[in-house]
């Protein structure tokens, strides 16, 4: 097991990473304040892991909320079910919520904890690679609103994050690859050495080698933690975490949520950003080829959806407020391992890149 401390003064917390950690009762105990514990999970993850987590918590007064599986259930109604459960069990302000599942469960359980009796403790046990490398850091919690994704929420930090790399063994390979897209992103924007390590270890990661996964997850969380610490208000460097995301969101919206996984859309978007960077002479052909080779090796798409025109991309990208604020704003690569925000992207160049990009 390895541990990374996320430094946030009195709210600092550990991220423990390694195989078999969900069975380690000693890792939960220090972060459970009172005697009352509510486990929040979904039907899929409950069938796989709930009994094992419960077996570690025999000394506590336990309650559970098992929600339906899917992004469409990331709603205030489901959070209300968690609150109902807490109230029915007469849980007080010293109760602790354990979030067992992917990002959907983590976001809802965290939001439920942020609001219940004005805030109770929660522990994240993320079970998808995406949630392990992304939602473990940053403290964002919340739900979707019919008018927009993640529109209702709060910043609320976990007391601890317990990442069991062995839980990834049951994760569909497509979901694993989608998580790898965000891992590769951290290398591309911030850490050339890590990017090179990923090139050497992408097969080991896809084969779920515990040591390789532990390193990739810890380094990803560390990069995100550094960036978030430098820019808590999301004015500057934090924008770099959006590499590939503006293109990616356009793909997700065009295709309807669910057809392309978020990580798949981001992967294709990062390839577009890299291609545009090459057209601006920031990346040479060899660097661009490295990006493509790594994304492919991770099982990720480097093409746009069939039939999605450059006009459609521009139309959807213009809806993104962050893009419009100052001309056409995009995250581009200065070189591998270093990104920047380009505030006034030449639209003609962008269209030319999109037209030439494979479908
Ligand atoms: P998810 O939570 O929907 O999980 C993906 C699928 O994998 C689900 O069907 C889930 O039931 C299943 N699953 C989870 N763990 C499994 C396991 N170990 N074995 C088998 N199946 C398993 O999706 P996700 O990709 O984890 O997270 C996406 C969500 O996270 C989005 O709602 C997004 O907004 C949010 N998110 C939040 C943050 C943040 O900072 N809070 C960051 C990134 C993403
Ligand atoms: Mg993302």
CA–centroid distance, 266 to ligand 2, in Å, is 7
> Given the structure tokens 């600092």, which residue do they identify?
12
Check residue 138 and give left, alpha or beta (phi > 0: left; psi -120 to 50: alpha). Answer: left
Distance CA 70, CA 81 (A): 16
Ligand 1 atom nearest to CA at 168: 18
Ligand 1 atom nearest to CA at 179: 25
pLDDT band, very low/low/confident/very high, at 303 (cuts 50, 70, 90) = very high
Q: What is the pLDDT of residue 205?
A: 98
* 245 is a catalytic site residue: yes
Q: Is the CB of 71 under 6 A from ligand 1?
A: yes
Q: Which residues are annotated as part of the binding site for Zn(2+)?
A: 182, 245, 262
Q: What is the pLDDT of residue 287?
A: 98
Ligand nearest to the CA of 179: 1
Distance CA 333, CA 110 (A): 33
Quote ipTM for the complex.
0.99
The per-residue pLDDT for range 29-79, each reduced to its tens digit, is: 999 989 999 999 999 999 999 999 999 999 999 999 999 999 999 999 999
pLDDT band, very low/low/confident/very high, at 343 (cuts 50, 70, 90) = confident
The per-residue pLDDT for range 15-35, each reduced to its tens digit, is: 999 999 999 999 999 999 899
Of the CA atoms within 13 Å of residue 301, those in its CB half-sphere come to 22
pLDDT band, very low/low/confident/very high, at 231 (cuts 50, 70, 90) = confident
Distance CA 247, CA 354 (A): 10
pLDDT band, very low/low/confident/very high, at 342 (cuts 50, 70, 90) = very high
pLDDT band, very low/low/confident/very high, at 323 (cuts 50, 70, 90) = low
CA–centroid distance, 132 to ligand 1, in Å, is 9
Of these residues, 182, 252, 264, 342, which one is catalytic? 182
Strand partners, 180: none
Angle of the 245-255 helix axis to the 262-279 helix axis, nearest 10: 130
pTM: 0.97
pLDDT band, very low/low/confident/very high, at 233 (cuts 50, 70, 90) = low
In the predicted structure, residue 257 carries a pLDDT above the cut 80:
no
Q: Compute φ and ψ for 153, nearest 5 degrees.
A: 180, -170
* 303 is a catalytic site residue: no
Which residues are CB-neighbours of 110 under 8 A, at least 6 positions away? 97, 99, 122, 124, 141, 142, 156, 158
Q: To test the ligand 1 pocket, which listed residue (104, 154, 232) has its Cβ within 8 A of the most ligand atoms?
A: 104
């Amino acid at each position: 097991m390895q541990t990374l401390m996320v430094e946030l003064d009195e709210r600092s917390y550990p991220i423990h990473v390694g195989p078999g950690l969900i069975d380690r009762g000693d890792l939960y105990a220090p972060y459970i304040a009172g005697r009352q514990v509510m486990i929040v999970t979904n039907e899929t993850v409950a069938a796989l892991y709930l009994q094992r987590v419960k077996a570690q918590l025999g000394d506590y007064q336990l309650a559970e909320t098992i929600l339906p599986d899917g992004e469409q259930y990331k709603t205030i109604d489901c959070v209300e079910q968690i609150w109902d459960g807490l109230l029915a069990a007469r849980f007080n302000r010293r109760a602790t919520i354990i979030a067992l599942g992917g990002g959907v469960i983590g976001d809802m359980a965290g939001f439920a904890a942020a609001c219940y009796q004005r805030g109770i403790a929660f522990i994240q046990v993320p079970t998808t690679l995406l949630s392990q490398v992304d939602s473990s850091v940053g403290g964002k919690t919340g739900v979707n609103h019919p008018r927009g994704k993640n529109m209702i929420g709060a910043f609320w930090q976990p007391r601890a994050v317990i990442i069991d790399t062995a839980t990834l063994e049951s994760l569909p390979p497509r979901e694993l690859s989608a998580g790898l897209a965000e891992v590769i992103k951290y290398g591309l924007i911030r850490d050339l050495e890590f990017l090179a390590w990923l090139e050497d270890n992408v097969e080991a990661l896809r084969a779920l080698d515990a040591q390789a996964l532990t390193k990739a997850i810890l380094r990803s969380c560390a990069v995100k933690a550094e960036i978030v610490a430098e820019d808590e208000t999301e004015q500057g460097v934090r924008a770099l975490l959006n590499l590939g995301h503006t293109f990616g969101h356009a793909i997700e919206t065009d295709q309807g949520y669910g057809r392309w996984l978020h990580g798949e859309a981001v992967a294709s978007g990062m390839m577009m950003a890299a291609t545009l960077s090459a057209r601006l002479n920031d990346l040479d052909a060899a660097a661009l080829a490295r990006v493509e080779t790594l994304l492919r090796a991770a099982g990720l798409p480097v093409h746009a959806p069939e039939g999605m025109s450059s006009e459609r991309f521009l139309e959807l990208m213009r809806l993104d407020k962050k893009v419009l604020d100052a001309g056409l704003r995009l995250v581009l690569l200065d070189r591998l391992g270093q990104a920047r925000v380009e505030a006034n992207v030449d639209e003609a160049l962008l269209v030319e890149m999109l037209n030439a990009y494979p479908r």
